[in-house]
């Protein structure tokens, strides 16, 4: 199973709403990511979880709140978003690189979900 599943696929919300994006993987990966992607642009890293602990926060506004309840799940809680936050939100997972070991996928291979397209009105 090499799938990363994201729900919902589409989400429309007002600026006062609270919603969540969900991501699930069952590949045994211990690193999980949230990216934001605008049309025809590369993904922008938002958060990285390693072994269920937040290891990277790329100075993301607090209206985005990540959560990693267990090794298979990653959530992104959304509150008081702005219209400029409208984008495709991508979840990804990967192996955690350990120097000197080899494993399926290799360093840097991210497995992406199809994304959640968010529109903020």
Interface ranges with other proteins (CB under 8 A): 4, 31, 33, 40-43, 45, 48, 50, 55-56, 90, 92, 94, 96-97, 99, 106-110, 112-115
Tell how strand 73-79 and strand 64-70 pair up: antiparallel
CB of 14 to other proteins, least distance (A): 25
Looking at the Cβ atoms of 32 and 78, the one nearer to other proteins is 32
- Collapsed DSSP state (helix, strand, coil) of residue 15: coil
CB of 61 to other proteins, least distance (A): 20
Measured CA distances, 47 to 1, 12, 60, 96, 101 (Å):
24, 22, 8, 15, 25
Closest CA to 89 of 46, 27, 26: 46
Looking at the Cβ atoms of 16 and 42, the one nearer to other proteins is 42
Beta bridge partners of 76: 21, 66
CB of 54 to other proteins, least distance (A): 12
CB of 17 to other proteins, least distance (A): 25
Looking at the Cβ atoms of 12 and 51, the one nearer to other proteins is 51
Beta bridge partners of 74: 23
């Amino acid at each position: 199973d090499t799938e990363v599943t994201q729900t919902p696929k589409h989400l429309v919300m007002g600026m006062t709403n609270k919603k969540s994006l969900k991501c699930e993987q069952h590949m045994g990966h211990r690193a999980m990511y949230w990216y934001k992607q605008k049309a025809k642009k590369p993904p922008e890293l938002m958060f990285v979880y390693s072994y269920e602990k937040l290891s990277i926060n790329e100075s993301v506004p607090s209206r985005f709140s990540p959560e990693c309840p267990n090794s298979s799940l990653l959530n992104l809680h959304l509150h008081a978003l702005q219209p400029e936050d409208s984008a495709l939100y991508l979840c990804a997972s990967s192996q955690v690189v350990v120097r000197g070991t080899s494993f399926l996928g290799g360093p840097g291979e991210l497995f992406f979900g199809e994304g959640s397209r968010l529109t903020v009105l």
